[in-house]
Structure formats: structure tokens, C-alpha cells
Amino acid sequence: MKTVSIILVFVITHLPLSAQPGGSADPGSDALPVTAVLINRLAEEARTNNPALHAEAAKVKAAQANVKSIRAWDDPTFMAGGVAASRSMRQEEGDIIYGIEQRLPLFGKPRMAKSAAQAEAATAGARANFRFQMLRLEIARQLLKTAVADYTIEIGTEDLAWLGSTTEAVEDHYHTGTATQTEVLRMLNERSKRAQQLRTDISQRDQERMFLNRLLNRRLENPWPKLTVPPVGPQVIYNELLKKMTLENEARLNVMRHEVNEAEAVVHSTKRARLPDVSLGLEGRQYSGDGEFREGLFTVRLSLPWFNRDKYRSDLERDRARLTAAQLELADYELFVPTEASRLTVRIEASRLEATLYRDEIIPRSELALSSARSAWGANRGMFLDLMEARRLLLESRLTYVRTVAEQYQLLSELALCCGVGDLEALEMLGTPGDSGTPSPKRP
């Protein structure tokens, strides 16, 4: 009986952790890898569904309509009145007065106003594009977080099955006198904790999916297939080409440049506002008694802005100060963007190296350590604590690998936004060597 139990325990404990029920070395047929194509497809879906993007589109439409509303010629003014005087004077000069007046589009005032409105519309368009790029980044982050949550549930399910099989083996050892009651209780506690943690992980995964549905304006309960984290991403090196791309294409930097142009247009418009308004008018008079026309007048009216020159000067100082502020903020951000790109490349490379280390060295060693600990414990030559420690190290290394790869792709998404490129695949144009050709481990 003792020999049979030892053989049974040896067979059970030699099963690899990834081969236990609840998981498979190959992703299921319904698994959906997180790729640049998927991110772009969901981003386009969000473009048509997301309320925030609809709001930005409405702002752009309003700014464009404002450009069309700028009038070169103001509406003419019609005037009518009468004269109260003696009959002889009214008969001679007329007692019904009427006329029309038109302000002239002089000194380029309407043109400057339209330029300011066009600059405002361009800024609104740049803001809408920036909002879309930020939403694309948020979708990429959420997809990766959901993929990590799916993988956490997958290895948690595998670990729960492994703990169940190992618990039975430890109980058999206990009945044959080769295991202690403490070891049996330890396995029961580990299995209970794993079951509870698995329920928590499922709830967390459901929350991640709900937030992803919110970004896409889907039903919050909309189901998702299992998402998988991509393999280790490419190596990205900070160079002059990347710096040039960030300074030319960064979305927020583009918004700030449009804001500077808008501020300059407002300054030019404010300068022209100090000039007088000139209006031309025609007036006619006739007598109400016989309806005959008596006289006509040609008028020129000129506003006198010099009485408020200090107010106009203050308006100009205000708009010039806003222009200076926009220019200084742009100059500061132009210094920040290359620095941020450099920081991202350093973190991307660190994540890539860490993920490669776990994939090529730590995970294979942990699998070997668990296999050796299983063999030694099944043959009563190893310690139970060594088996549990080897299990813990393998689980931690697999989780760390996936989280590190997800972090690398989150950073790559931020760098893609910083460079102003459409997706992660466009980073290949930087000419940096890749790492995707290296084979990935069996699990994960």
C-alpha cells in the first residue's frame, strides 16, 4: 500500500503546472491577441461612438460655423423720423425724414476677425485630434490591463487545479506516514486562498472589461473574448529621427502651436480695433402734405476711438500677454517632449530586457526547479517547503513576465502618441532592431 501511494504521488507531482485542468499551452480558439490592428479598429469604433469625441467634433463644427459667420459688410441701418416745426418750415424743408447707413469694411478689420476665427477653428481641430489620440492610448492601456487580468485568471485556474491534485497527494502521503498534518493543513489553506483569490481576480477582470466597454460606448455588460498579451516588443533607441518626429508630430505640441497662431491672430485683430469705424449714409426729406420730395443728404460718420485709447491699449496689452504666455508654454513643452521621449525609450528598453530575462532564463529555471522539487518530494528525498517555494517562484515569474510585457506595450503606446504616429507598427520606421523573432516560452 505504501509503495502504491508513493508511485501515485510521484505520477501526480510530475504533472507540469501548465498541464493541469483549467489551462492549455495553446490559447483557445476564441482568444484575441492585443495587436495594433485591434487597437486601431477599436479606436475607429470609439471615434463614432464615444460621447467625448462627439463633443469635440461639435466644437470643431461650431468653430467652422463661426468662420463662415464673419461678415465683411455689416447690416445696413435704416432710419426714419419726423420734424415738429411751423407749417411753412415743414412745407419748405419737409417733415418726413428717412435714410440708410452702411458701415464700410475698412482697415482690414473684417479680414483680421476672420483670420482669428480661422485660427480658432484650427485649434479646435487640433484639440479634437489630440482627444482622439489620447482615447486611442487609453484603449490600448485598457486592452493590455484586461489581457493581464485574463492571464491572471488563467494561471490562477491552473494553480487551483494543481493545488487540488497536490492536496490529494499530500493526504495520501499523510495516510502512509510520509507527510505531516501541518503539510496537509498548509495545502488546504493554499487551495482555499487560491479559490478566493480566483474569485477576486474574476471580479477585477469584469471591472476591466466594463471600463473598456465604457470607452467604446458599448453596453457595460458586453461580453469579451479572452485577450492575450503580445510577445516581447521591439527595441526602441532614442536618436535624432525620433527626436525630430516628436517635435514635428506630438499631438499636444501641435495644439499648443495652433494656440500660438490663434493668439497672434487675436493680437492683429485687436490692433485693428483701435482704428475708427467709418459709415456712409443717405438721407431724404419730403413733405407729408403733398408727398413731394424736398431734399437729400449724403453723410459720412466717423467713430472717435481716441477718447478710449487707454482702454484699447489695455486690450492690446492683455492679448499680447496671452500671446507671450502661449509662446513660453510652447517653448517649455518643446524642451519637455524630447526629454519625455528619451525617458520612455529608457523605460521601454528596461521592460524589454526584464521581460526577455524572465522569458529566456527565469521562467525556464523556475520550471526546472519545480520539476526537480516534484521529483525529489515524490521520491521522499526532498522537502515539502521546497516544492511550495518552487511553485510560488514559478507563478510569480509568469505573472511578472506578462505584466512587464504589458508595461512595455503601454510605454510603446505612449511613445507612439509622443511621435505622432498612428499605431505601434509605425515605430518600425525608426529603424530600430526588433526582438519579436526570439521564440517565447511555452507558458506564458
pLDDT at 295: 81
Any idea what DSSP says for residue 358? I
Query: Could you report the per-residue pLDDT of 385-440, keeping only the tens digit for each?
Result: 888 999 999 999 999 999 999 999 999 988 888 887 765 555 555 544 444 433 33
Q: Are 100 and 79 in contact (CB under 8 A)?
A: yes
Q: Residue 346: pLDDT band by 50, 70, 90 thresholds?
A: very high
C-alpha 357 chain-centroid distance:
30
CA atoms within 13 A on the CB side of 307: 2
The number of beta carbons lying within 10 Å of the beta carbon of residue 47 is: 14
User: Quick one: what percent of the chain has pLDDT higher than 70?
Assistant: 88
Task: Output the average pLDDT for the chain.
Answer: 84
CB 143 within 8 A of CB 38: yes
Average pLDDT over every residue of 13-35:
49
Q: CA 84, CA 98: separation in Å to the nearest integer?
A: 15
Q: Indicate yes or no: pTM above 0.85.
A: no
CA 374 to CA 11: how far, in whole Å? 10
Q: How far is CA 123 from CA 6, 119, 185, 226, 433, in A?
A: 75, 6, 66, 40, 37
Q: Compute CA distances 359 → 226, 232, 351, 353, 404, whole Å.
A: 22, 9, 12, 10, 11
pLDDT tens digits, 279-328? 888 888 887 777 777 788 888 888 888 888 888 899 899 999 999 999 99
- CA distance linking residue 255 with residue 419, whole number of Å: 14
Rounded alpha-carbon distances, angstroms, from residue 334 to 322, 341, 365 = 18, 11, 46
User: Does the structure show a pLDDT above 80 at 444?
Assistant: no
* CA dist., res. 135 & res. 251, Å (int): 12
At 241, list the grid cell: 529621427
Q: What are the angstrom distances between the C-alpha of 261 and each of 130, 258, 428? A: 17, 5, 33
pLDDT above 80 for 155: yes
Least confident of 107-111, 124-128, 251-255: 107-111
Query: Picking from 151-160, 177-186, 208-217, 434-443, which range would have the lowest pLDDT averaged per residue?
Result: 434-443
Place domain 2-430 in its CATH homologous superfamily.
Outer membrane efflux proteins (OEP) (1.20.1600.10)
Check whether the bond before 231 is cis (ω within 30° of 0). Answer: no
Q: What pLDDT shows up at residue 443? A: 39
Encode pLDDT of 213-224 as tens digits.
999 999 998 999
Separation in Å, CA 108 to CA 68, 104, 276: 17, 10, 12
- Going 178 to 182 to 187 to 188, the CA torsion angle's sign is positive
Packing angle, helices 384-419 and 109-176, rounded to 10: 170
Q: Give the Cβ contact number of residue 321 at 10 Å.
A: 12
Q: What is the pLDDT, as a whole number, of residue 416?
A: 87
Alpha carbon distances (Å) from 380 to 182, 190, 374, 377: 17, 21, 10, 5
| In the chain, domain spans | 2-430
State yes or no: pLDDT of 266 exceeds 60.
yes
Q: Average pLDDT in the 181-203 region? A: 93
Closest alpha carbon to 198 in 146, 165, 161: 161
Question: What size, in residues, is the chain?
Answer: 444
How far from chain centre, in Å, is Cα 267? 33
- Interacting residues of 369 by C-beta distance below 8 A, sequence separation 6+: 390, 393, 394
Give the pLDDT confidence of 57-98 residue by residue, as tens digits. Answer: 999 999 999 898 888 888 888 888 877 777 778 777 777 888
Q: d(Cα 399, Cα 396) in Å, to the nearest integer? A: 5
- Which residue is associated with the grid cell 485598457? 142
- Calculate mean pLDDT across residues 234-241: 86
- Residue in this structure with the C-alpha cell 503539510, named with its chain if needed: 183
